[in-house]
Amino acid sequence: MPDGTQLYLELLKKILTNVIYQDPTFPDPAAEHGISGYRDDIREIGLDWPTVAHTMVGRKRLDNVHWAVEKVLEDGVPGDFVETGVWRGGVCILIRAILQAHGVTDRTVWLADSFEGMPVTGEESHEADRRLAVHRYNHVLAVSLEAVKENFARYGLLDDQVKFLKGWFKDTLPTAPPGPLAVIRLDGDLYESTTDALVNLYPRLSPGGFAIIDDYAIGACREAVHDYRATFGIKDEIVPIDTFGVYWRRTD
């Protein structure tokens, strides 16, 4: 029988993805993929954009975060946890809950986001980012810092083990978080955003730590990952999570 800790975390994941009340997706971005209303199979793999749920990554990618965080705690991998691109904060709420459930008081969860949506791409932007033009969905993607803090507070998880980095990654990540890091989770969609996160965070990732890429299915993001890995000779196996995200575990 599962213990109380795991029962709590499993229930939390159901609440964060809102499979309880089954809120529908935002119609305009989802319509491009023929998705409307609420569907269990789509919410499971995080392909809709929920109107109410506190995360859009889906159950499988939340399960991956849960496993990775508990694995580094079990193995004694040193470091904090950081997500770049947090939307309503759901993934980091889960990470903070895992730390609380296991009585971990010496690690921090860092949330890096503009809290104003995606950067507007122009002629100076990477070609793949110009094609993607994801800023056209900022009416959905822009969630204020105050709103994310309020979401943490609703779960009773807003405390000094949660730190916020407001601004573009290229400006906030060079100096914070200082490291070491046990898990980095990159959810920036774009080539430039993904590259900024890898360049600044991966060198601080402890051996045995996890690099999780939420948007690997997006060509711009995947290209950035492959370019960075090739530049620095990273050979660790890329493991699929679902149809969208991947991870690898740093071995060197």
pLDDT for 24 equals 93
Instruction: Determine the Cα–Cα distance for residues 127 and 138; give it in Å rounded to an integer.
Output: 20
Query: Is 72:43 a contact under the CB 8 Å cutoff?
Result: no
Is the N-terminal amide bond of 180 cis, ω within 30° of 0? yes
Domains of the chain with bracketed CATH: 55-249 (3.40.50.150)
Alpha carbon distance 141, 118 (integer Å):
7
Which tens digit of pLDDT belongs to each residue from 204-231?
999 999 999 999 999 999 999 999 999 9
The mean pLDDT of the chain is 93
How large is the greatest C-alpha to C-alpha distance in the chain, in angstroms?
57
32 pLDDT tier (thresholds 50, 70, 90): low
pLDDT tens figures, 159-198? 999 999 999 999 999 999 998 999 999 999 899 999 999 9
Q: Average of pLDDT values for 98-123?
A: 92
Q: What's residue 31's pLDDT?
A: 60
Burial level of 60, CB count in 10 A (0-12/13-18/19+)?
Answer: middle
| Helix ranges restricted to H, the chain | 4-17, 27-31, 40-45, 58-75, 90-101, 127-132, 138-141, 145-154, 169-172, 191-201, 219-232
Q: Tell me the pLDDT tens digit for each residue of 137-167.
A: 788 889 999 999 999 999 999 999 999 999 9
* The pLDDT of residue 2: 64
Instruction: Please give the model's pTM, rounded to 2 decimal places.
Output: 0.95
- Render pLDDT for 124-144 as a digit per residue (tens, 0 to 9): 777 877 777 678 778 888 999
Q: What is the pLDDT of residue 179?
A: 86
Distance (Å, whole) CA 111 – CA 78: 18
